[in-house]
Amino acid sequence: MGADGGPNRAAVAPQHGEEGGDARVFRVVAVQLFFMFVPVNDRDKWGRSIARFICRHAMGYFPISLHVEDYKAFDPSRAYVFGYEPHSVLPIGLSALADLVGFMPLTKVKVLASSAVAFLKSRKGFVKIAMQSGCPLVPVFCFGQLSYKWWRPGGKLFVKIARAVKFTPIIFWGRFGTPFPFPRPVHVVVGKPIEVDKNPQPTIDDINEVHEQFIIALRELFEKYKGKAGYPGLHLRVL
C-alpha cells in the first residue's frame, strides 16, 4: 500500500529477469519436495540460505505489498514482538516481513473460510514474552492469504481427534494441485508498536490488560485497511 494508504502492488516485484511465474512455482515446489527427504536444520547457515531462496522465489510469484503505518515509530536498536495475523495454511506475508525489512513475527492466528478468525483469547504467551523482555507489541495483519482450496471431514469423531492432537487436520491444495497457493494479491499491514512496561513476573491481570490492548489495536488495523486491500466484506472474529 502506498503512502496515501491505497494499494501499491509493485512493492514487491519479481527479481528473476524474465522468468515466468509458473517456472518459479515449479522451482520452489521442486526444492520443497527435495527437502522432504533431506533434513535441514533451519537454524544453521545452510538452512537459512535455503529458506531465503524459497522466500525470494515465492515473493516473486505473488504481487505482495507491504505497508508500515509509521516507520519512525520503530527503533533499529530495539527488539519487537510481532503478532502476525492470520497464520493460515501458509503465512505468505512472513516472507515479506522477514526478507524485506528484517521483521520476524510470532504467529498465533489461523484463517477459516470467508472470515478471519483470530484464536487469541486463550493464547497469551506472546504477550507474556513482550512484557518479560520489555519489548513493544506490534499488530500485523495480512490480507490475501485465503488462496487455497481445502476440505475437512465433519462429525463428532473428527472433533474428538482434532481436540486430541491440538489442531484441525485438513486437506488443502493450490495451483496444479500442489501445496503452492494460487497467485493472488497479498497486502501486509504493520501497525504501530504498543509500548509495554518490562515486568519479569507479570500477573494474569497484567497480561490480560496488555492482551486486550493488542486485540483492540488489531481490530482497528483490520477495519482501517480491509477495504483498501480489497476485502470490504471480510469480518474479523476473535475466539
> Between the ranges 2-6, 133-137, 166-170, where is the mean pLDDT highest?
133-137
Which tens digits make up the pLDDT trace of 108-159? 333 333 445 555 656 788 899 999 999 999 998 888 776 666 666 777 887 7
Among the listed residues 195, 238, 189, 188, the one whose alpha carbon sits nearest the alpha carbon of residue 215: 238
Q: Which residues contact 78 (CB under 8 A, 6 or more apart)?
A: 135, 136
The span from the CA of 20 to the CA of 2, in Å, is: 26
Q: What is the pLDDT of residues 72-109, one digit of tens each?
A: 999 988 888 888 877 655 555 555 555 544 444 433 33
Lowest mean pLDDT among 15-19, 62-66, 226-230: 15-19
The closest of 69, 66, 93, 52 to 181, measured between CA atoms, is: 93
The three three-digit cell numbers of residue 9, written as one number: 502492488
pLDDT at residue 181 greater than cutoff 70: yes
Instruction: Give the pLDDT of residue 60.
Output: 65
At 16 the pLDDT is 40
Distances, alpha carbon 99 to alpha carbons 53, 54, 57, 94, 102, in Å: 10, 11, 11, 8, 6
Residue 134 covered by a domain: yes
Do the domain assignments include residue 57? no
20 inside domain: no
Higher local confidence (pLDDT), 201 or 238: 201
Element (H, E) at 129: helix 125-133
Based on the number of CB atoms within 10 Å of its own CB, is 113 exposed (0-12), middle (13-18) or buried (19 or more)?
exposed
Reported as a single tens digit per residue, the pLDDT across 27-42 is 656 666 666 666 666 5
- The parent domain of residue 205 ranges over 63-238
**pLDDT grade for 217, boundaries at 50, 70 and 90:** very high
Domain count across the chain: 1
- pLDDT band at residue 174 using 50, 70 and 90 as cut-offs: confident
Task: State the SS3 of 22-73.
Answer: HHHHHHHHHHHHHCCCCCCCCCCHHHHHHHHHHHHHHHHHCCEEEEECCHHH
Residue-level pLDDT at 43:
64
Angle at 74 between CA 123 and CA 70, to 5 degrees: 95
Q: Which of 59-63, 77-81, 103-107, 208-212 has the lowest mean pLDDT?
A: 103-107
| Beta bridge mates, 160 | none
106-107 vs 81-85, strand pairing mode: parallel
Residue 198 has pLDDT above 80, yes or no: yes
Q: Does the residue 54 lie in any domain?
A: no
